Amino acid sequence: MRPGGPGADPGGPDGRPVELGCDLFDGWGRMELGARLARQEGCLDELLRSLGVEWTEPDDPRVAAFAQREPYFPQYHRIGHKRQSAVRELTGRRALVERHYELVLRALVSDDDRSSPRSLAAVLVESVGRRRVQESLVRAVEDGDPYQQVCAAGAWPWVLAPLDYAGEEDFRAGRPTPRSLAARAALSDLASRFEAGLRAAQAACRDDWTRDRLSAALDGWPPA
């Protein structure tokens, strides 16, 4: 038995995040939503171009209707479809993921949502291995800009080795199988580095939005 949460199986030669030179801060020290979405969509556009995937926006009248109440909805909608297009193109194609690893990683650490990184994380782990992807996220939190640090914190739970349970009783009691515990423990060196990187980033950050997001990740540490 495996609960439905983070820990799915999903790396460029050094895996280091790439600086995008985008000013994401408004005058109040918050990370501005429009700039965050533009950065995320730009990374997905670059990935799709590199993959040779032509993306055409679906004709959906509901999008315009929702946009009247939520101006950013059309961009969220596009981002979701573009992410799905990339995942479909990459799934099960290890050599393709290897060639485009840096761009996939860049898209992963440009998504500050807590759930949507799951699909790209799974593609990476499946193709290049869990350790390599975790090493890349460690570098992102150690060396990346504040936005990449926040996004790496959100992606981390999805690249952990999953905890399995023999049955409902063990799940309720919090008793994972020894095998799944051993698989997670095998990467404990990276988990320790990642936690240390998060704490250092939190101590160094100068804006409330980043601090709050990093604090939330640390408050729930270690992830289940």
Query: pTM value?
Result: 0.84
Q: Read off the tokens for 192.
A: 């320790």
Confidence of residue 25 (pLDDT cuts 50, 70, 90): low
- Domain span including residue 117: 33-219
Q: Say if 213 falls within a structural domain.
A: yes
Alpha-carbon distances of 46 from 35, 113, 182, rounded to whole Å: 16, 19, 38
Token pair, residue 205, equals 């950050």
Higher per-residue pLDDT: 190 or 4: 190
2 within a domain of the structure (yes/no): no
With respect to residue 122, please indicate whether it lies within any of the assigned structural domains: yes
The whole-number average pLDDT for the span 93-116 is 96
Residue type, 160: L
Q: What is the average pLDDT across 84-94?
A: 97
Q: Residue range 171-194: average pLDDT?
A: 96
Give percent of the chain with pLDDT exceeding 70.
86
Q: Which residues pair with 31 in a beta bridge?
A: 25
Q: Do the domain assignments include residue 16?
A: no
How many structural domains comprise the chain?
1
50-81, pLDDT tens digit by residue?
Answer: 999 998 887 888 888 888 888 888 999 999 99
The answer to whether the beta carbons of residues 116 and 83 sit under 8 Å apart is yes
Output the average pLDDT for the chain: 87
**Is there a domain that residue 153 lies in?**
yes
Q: Is residue 5 part of a domain?
A: no
Q: What percent of the chain has pLDDT over 90?
A: 71
